[in-house]
Amino acid sequence: MKTGRILRSVLIALLLALVLRPDWFVPIFAPFAPDGGPVIYQRASMLSLSLSHLGIVTLASAAATIVAVALAILVTRPAGAAFRPLSRTITNMGQTFPPVAVLALAVPALGFGAGPTLVALFLYGLLPIFENAVTALTSLPRATTQAARGIGLSRLQRLLRVELPLALPVTLTGIRLSIVIGLGTATIGSTVAARTLGEVIIAGLLTNNTAYVLQGGLIVGLFAVLIYDALVQLELYLTGRMGG
Amino acid sequence: MIEIDSITKTYGTMNAVDAVSMRVETGSITAIVGTSGSGKTTLLRMINRLEEPTSGEVRINGTSTSSVKPHLLRRRIGYAIQGHGLFPHHTVARNIGAVPELLKWSRDKINERVDELLALFSMDPAEFRDRFPAELSGGQQQRVGVARALASRPDLLLMDEPFGALDPIIRTRAQKDLAHIQRKLGSTIMLVTHDMEEAISLGDHVAVMDGGKLVQYAPPAEIIARPATDFVANMVGDVERPLRLLSLISVSEIIEAGEADGEGLPETASLRDALSACLWSGRDALPATREGAVVGRVTLKAIRARAGAHL
């Protein structure tokens, strides 16, 4: 536990330094840069790229969460049960489409910029959230749901006060998976001019500058690891409160 | 008074509950007993409309249950089930206060009621109020489950195998607690169990269900002495009938004047306890005590005569 906390603080410090003071890393990245070439990406600040990257992922994940959870609630009601196979097929299709293909298909419709990336991340994020929310809502402890009905909670009260809170930890696992996938996948968005940290990586690949690739890759990786960890902590806290 | 009027529940072509009628007096405990698949739980669940009857109706104090919306009806009827069904994400206080909260009681009134109930179930309010169900023992969870069912002072308390998940020692204690609280509050309770022993010891009336039909509905002593069908006799257990009968009679009924040696037995104990004490200590008579003082004796002969009184 203690080593975990130390490791976490070190990683946070490293990430902050990479984002806010990239110049500190010149000596480390210099061996990877081509002779005489730039070591640190200068065309945009790491902070603004990071914020834009996180913004796109947050927006797409929030939309995916709202749609997936709403769909999960719908198909776990008696009236919506018939739609469960259909909605499963749709969310599965979102997952089978490679994000690159979605980008390519979305550009003609939405133009260059953040739009196609948002669509790709949204489609890609639906499935884990939907599957987990459906599993959580259909495997609630029977005695608790029976009692909720038996003591006189209305349908809506049962959903809001009992079912959703109890389904939250497992749903959150789905959201976590979807966010982490999104953080990595968003880098591809830079190929269609979305402002993400992928810009640094792609610039590195185009100019044969490994230093850029490392710089961009490290930041994205650290964000993913730390956000993953924070969400795991949140889930543990929630399950702990419910007695696991 | 609860009146169940030829209530039937049909699943497909099978009658899970077949034209059952019974009347339950206010302030009494009725134990519905039967094997699994006898329809006892379905019968209970039709009273608060967790299952809708196919035909027939239930009246509580003269009003038909079908005249109220199901979830509003259920707020007036306490419900406790096997495995307690507490909300794991709510504190003990919030669990117990769930129904009063639905009925929009004031905050102060709810808190007062929660503390009162915790004290009634011998759980210190200050210690338990803010705990989560997972932090309680099985027996405590079960008590909180019953406290939740009693919180709004319901007209009727339905209990579906409430002690089914408890180990035998805690179970006996929970049954005693329930009997004690029922006498204190005067609640009307209908309880489903598969355990005839539990039905006999708790019920003022016992309803025996078999294959969806109510085969006998009578006070426990009559169920034991005059079982209506072979099935009932079988449920009572032929060999154990005399002991079960004795367990319903207290020592005070057959106290006689006279002396006896050895350790005494309180007059509130059952004749079954008295018989057991006689056999175990090899005595023919025991002193009977009231609040510690000897008031007479109970003899093996008198116990035997009482056991044979139904002949």
Q: What backbone torsions phi and psi does residue B21 show, to the nearest 5 degrees?
A: -125, 135
Show the domain range for A143: 45-241
- List the CATH number of the domain containing A228: 1.10.3720.10
Rounded to a whole number of angstroms, the distance from the CA of B50 to the nearest CA of chain A is: 7
Cβ pairs bridging A and B (under 8 Å): 72
Superfamily covering domain B2-236:
P-loop containing nucleotide triphosphate hydrolases (3.40.50.300)
What's the CA gap between B93 and B131, in Å, rounded?
8
Asked if residue A209 is part of any domain, the answer here is yes
- Asked if the model's pLDDT at residue A42 lies above 80, the reply is no
Note the pLDDT tens digit of each residue in B159-180.
Answer: 998 888 788 888 888 888 888 8
Q: Which of B71, B84, B146, B150 to mutate to test the interface with A (most CBs of A within 10 A)?
A: B71
Whether B71 and A153 lie within 8 Å, measured CB to CB: yes
Q: Give the pLDDT confidence score for residue B163 in this predicted structure.
A: 87
A108 or B71: which leads in pLDDT: B71
Cross-chain residue pair B102–A153, CB shorter than 8 Å: yes
Say if A156 is an interface residue toward chain B (CB within 8 Å): no
Residues A196, A189: contact at Cβ < 8 Å?
Answer: yes
**The pair of three-digit structure tokens given for residue B257, joined into one six-digit string:** 């004047």
Number of domains in chain A: 1
Is B249-307 a domain of CATH 3.10.580.10?
yes
Of A94 and B12, the one with more pLDDT? B12
Residue B111 CA, distance from chain mean position: 27
In a domain? residue A32 = no
Alpha helices in chain B (DSSP H): 40-47, 70-75, 92-96, 98-102, 107-120, 125-128, 138-150, 168-185, 196-202, 220-225, 230-236, 241-247, 271-281, 300-307
pLDDT at residue A1 greater than cutoff 70: no
Q: Looking at the domain assignment, is residue A90 inside a domain?
A: yes
| Cβ-defined contact of B88 to A153 (cutoff 8 Å) | no
Query: Is the CB of residue A240 less than 8 Å away from at least one CB of chain B?
Result: no
CB interface of A with B, residues 111-150, below 8 Å: 141, 143-144, 146-150
- Indicate if the pLDDT at residue A243 is higher than 70: no
Cβ-proximal residues to B140 (8 Å cutoff; 6+ apart), any chain: B123, B128
Domain ranges of chain B: 2-236, 249-307
- Would you say B155 and B77 are in contact if contact means Cβ atoms under 8 Å apart? yes
Inter-chain CB proximity A243 and B48 less than 8 Å: no
For B130, which DSSP code?
Answer: T
Note the pLDDT tens digit of each residue in B237-296.
877 788 888 888 888 888 888 888 888 888 888 888 899 888 888 888 889 888 888 888
**Cα B193 from Cα B181, distance rounded (Å):** 19
- Work out the mean pLDDT of chain B and round it to a whole number: 89
* Any domain includes A4: no
| Res. B109: pLDDT tops 50 | yes
A194, A117 contact by CB (below 8 A): yes
ipTM of this predicted complex? 0.78
Residue A143 with chain B: CB contacts under 8 Å: 81-85
Bridge-based pairing of strands B293-299 and B189-193 is unpaired
B82 close contact with A: CB closer than 8 A: yes
Kind and range of the H or E run holding B158: strand B156-160
Model confidence at A228, pLDDT cuts 50, 70, 90, reads very high
